Amino acid sequence: MMNIADNIAKIRSDMALAAKKSGRVLSEIKLMGVTKYHPVEMMTEAAPHLDLIGENKVQEAVNKRAVWPVGMASCPWHMIGHLQRNKIRRALESFDLIESIDSLETAVGINRVISEGGPRRFPVYIEVNMSREAAKSGVAPEEAERLLEGMMTDCPLLSVEGLMTVALDTEDECVLREIFGGLRELREKLRCATGLPLPELSMGMSGDFMTAIEEGSTIVRVGSAIFGPRNYG
Ligand SMILES: *Cc1c(COP(=O)(O)O)cnc(C)c1O
């Protein structure tokens, strides 16, 4: 029988191992539960043990937030899937942060909607397609600096706080280290170019989060290792 709290405890202890191995401070690494295709009942069970909730689709997040039990603990919700421009307004109503910015047009669209609501800033990350897979969203690594500088100029209400990537689906440690280490190095380059601190590196999923932590991840996004396989039916 699967127990969500036990699964999370196991992941937290693996996170501690990876942090220790790489000489990192465990409290600087957050655990996101990725809850796409899983019901709200499983989410409310997990939420007290998580730092963040991650959803891929705007509509699914809207539906789930609408039935979230009143008074039930939650944690910040991050959007981690591709954001279509016609869903920006609803995304901003359901998410506390968007990790998947990969175009200036989308960023400008978000900035415009935010500007209608008074002077608040909205936090985002840039998604980078480190593995260069055609089917994947995210900006190419060599385009990231131009996107970030465009956002600093055109999106004054957006606060770019980090980078996100989805690694290649592989168990090859060397390939994974190249991807995760590559995102960390890209962050250094962008820090130098812009002066932004970019504290967050969102990288690592169920199969590769320990490697990601060893390479500098500050947010691991774990779905199936917490909630079991997704039912796409
Ligand atoms: C689904 C998803 C995850 C979680 O994947 P698991 O392998 O189930 O841990 C993490 N990040 C993104 C962007 C996802 O779409």
Inside any domain, residue 170: yes
CATH number at residue 22: 3.20.20.10
Give residue-wise pLDDT tens across range 151-208. Answer: 999 999 999 999 999 999 999 999 999 999 999 999 999 999 999 999 999 999 999 9
Residue nearest to atom 13 of ligand 1 (CA): 80
Instruction: Give a yes or no: residue 27 inside a domain.
Output: yes
Q: Are 33 and 223 in contact (CB under 8 A)?
A: yes
> Sorting pLDDT into bands at 50, 70 and 90, what band is 231?
confident
Q: How far is CA 145 from CA 98, 110, 141, 192, in A?
A: 18, 19, 8, 11
Is residue 77 a part of any domain in this protein?
A: yes
In a domain, 153, yes or no: yes
Ligand 1 centroid to residue 224 C-alpha, Å: 8
| Cβ 101 vs Cβ 88: under 8 Å | no
Tokens, residue 69: 């039990």
Q: How many domains does the chain have?
A: 1
Residue nearest to atom 11 of ligand 1 (CA): 221
What is the domain range of residue 182?
4-224
Q: How far, in Å, is the centroid of ligand 1 from the Cα of 115?
A: 31
Q: Is residue 128 part of a domain?
A: yes
Quickly state the pLDDT bin for 119 (edges 50, 70, 90). Answer: confident
Q: Is the pLDDT of residue 27 over 70?
A: yes
Q: Using the 8-state DSSP alphabet, how is residue 139 labeled?
A: B
Predicted TM-score (pTM) of the model is 0.97
Round to whole Å and give the CA distance between 81 and 136: 10
Distance of alpha carbon 225 from alpha carbon 206, whole angstroms: 5
Residue 176 belongs to some domain of the structure? yes
194 in a domain, yes or no?
Answer: yes
Within a domain: residue 229?
A: no
Neighbours of 19 (CB within 10 A): 19
